[in-house]
A and B are shown apart, each in its own frame.
Chain A
């Protein structure tokens, strides 16, 4: 997972459980709580919550950060759909490299095959 790779490259430690909705406060990710609220609101198509979390990011990090975050969330409303629509499996190398991580995070629950 690239979040772990980023941590390896920068020397930061992140609790990857935050990806699966675990508590963001102690995750090590700067402004993880703001990021999480924003992505959850957008994916839930919750207008009021999106507006509130958008403003919180703008207040804390600036408009550019909010736009960049929005862009990533939008892109990742595409890639999963492309993958799920065509049934692509994990690449062999990726599957081997992430076996322990996927077990730790319980990602097998998403594998509809």
Chain B
């Protein structure tokens, strides 16, 4: 049975299907990580909440004021663990220094982006299942195969500190990603790895709104109003200390 078909409550079919796709894709080779690595990243994301270093850092005035080693699961290199743990437990205080430290530690930038994407997906799934009172589905078995590890040469650093594919530079097989004037920086943020960003947005579009420009809910079936949706969105962002 698909993982989220066992949800204790009747999910919207499109959301249920998106969650099930996401569940399966987690264990498949990605663009830069293989299935085993992707599962390990997700597991480490869950472990991050129990890391003593992260707990102390979260309370410190600055994350750089606290030194030490993360307590990881022992499956991933230390720089990977730092990317994951900081992203999970203290995202509001991430910096270019954190990002570049990961590269100085040996991570390829494309790997960082896919790790960020998988980590975010793990956080999202955990958040949703906890919110609705569902046990998190058991992870699937890793699928065989190797990632292509093909770098998008058209990507350039910006608008933040990560390399991204600007809408005007998108190749024909990625141009549709920016359809409907969806040029917001958030949409562009993880496009260094186009295939992975599509997977992530397939999930997010069904959790939130595929096109936030719609007038109110514009025919979408939701049991809360647009105002309630936007309040939840803004409040969650504020609680995470997100400026954007």
Q: State whether these chains interact.
A: yes
| Residues 76-97 of chain A, each 1 if its beta carbon lies under 8 Å from chain B, else 0 | 1111111111111111000000
Contact of A21 among B208, B233, B238 (CB under 8 A): B238
**Cβ B234 vs Cβ A3 within 8 A:** yes
Contact of A82 among B12, B189, B215, B235 (CB under 8 A): B189
**Cβ B185 vs Cβ A89 within 8 A:** yes
Q: Among B28-36, B88-96, B166-174, which stretch is in contact with chain A?
A: B88-96
**Cβ A87 vs Cβ B231 within 8 A:** no
Known: A45-B49, A47-B130, A111-B243. A71 touches B208 (CB 8 A): yes
Cβ contacts under 8 Å, B87 to chain A: 81, 84-85
Cβ contacts under 8 Å, A83 to chain B: 185-186, 189, 242-244
Cβ contacts under 8 Å, A79 to chain B: 186, 204, 208, 237, 242, 244
**Cβ B207 vs Cβ A71 within 8 A:** yes
**Cβ A80 vs Cβ B236 within 8 A:** yes
Instruction: Kindly state whether residue A19 has any CB partner on chain B within 8 Å.
Output: yes
**Cβ A86 vs Cβ B164 within 8 A:** yes
Query: How far is it, in angstroms, between the C-alpha of A44 and the C-alpha of B161 when the chains are bound?
Result: 29
Of all chain B residues, the one with the shortest Cβ separation from A3 is: B230
Cβ contacts under 8 Å, B206 to chain A: 71
**Cβ A14 vs Cβ B227 within 8 A:** yes
Instruction: Kindly state whether residue A23 has any CB partner on chain B within 8 Å.
Output: no
Query: How far is it, in angstroms, between the C-alpha of A19 and the C-alpha of B208 when the chains are bound?
Result: 18
Which parts of A1-52 form the interface with B (CB within 8 Å)?
1-3, 5-7, 9-10, 12, 14, 18-21, 29-32, 35-36, 38-40, 42-45, 47, 50-51
Known: A67-B9, A72-B232, A82-B120. A89 touches B184 (CB 8 A): no
**Cβ B236 vs Cβ A110 within 8 A:** no
Query: How far is it, in angstroms, between the C-alpha of A14 and the C-alpha of B212 when the chains are bound?
Result: 19
Cβ contacts under 8 Å, B15 to chain A: 67, 71
Cβ contacts under 8 Å, B236 to chain A: 39, 42-43, 72-73, 76-77, 80
Instruction: Kindly state whether residue A59 has any CB partner on chain B within 8 Å.
Output: no
Closest chain A CB from B175 CB (angstroms): 20
Instruction: Kindly state whether residue B11 has any CB partner on chain A within 8 Å.
Output: yes
Closest chain B CB from A97 CB (angstroms): 13
**Cβ A1 vs Cβ B234 within 8 A:** yes
Closest chain A CB from B121 CB (angstroms): 8
Contact of A30 among B12, B120, B133, B225 (CB under 8 A): B225
Cβ contacts under 8 Å, A39 to chain B: 232, 235-236, 239
Which parts of B199-229 form the interface with A (CB within 8 Å)?
200, 204, 206-208, 212, 215-216, 222-229
**Cβ A64 vs Cβ B207 within 8 A:** no
Instruction: Kindly state whether residue B124 has any CB partner on chain A within 8 Å.
Output: yes
**Cβ B124 vs Cβ A78 within 8 A:** yes
The residues of A with any CB-CB pair to B shorter than 8 Å are 1-3, 5-7, 9-10, 12, 14, 18-21, 29-32, 35-36, 38-40, 42-45, 47, 50-51, 54, 61-91, 107-108, 110-113
The residues of B with any CB-CB pair to A shorter than 8 Å are 9-12, 15, 49, 87, 91-96, 99, 116, 119-121, 123-125, 127-128, 130-133, 159-162, 164, 184-186, 188-190, 200, 204, 206-208, 212, 215-216, 222-244
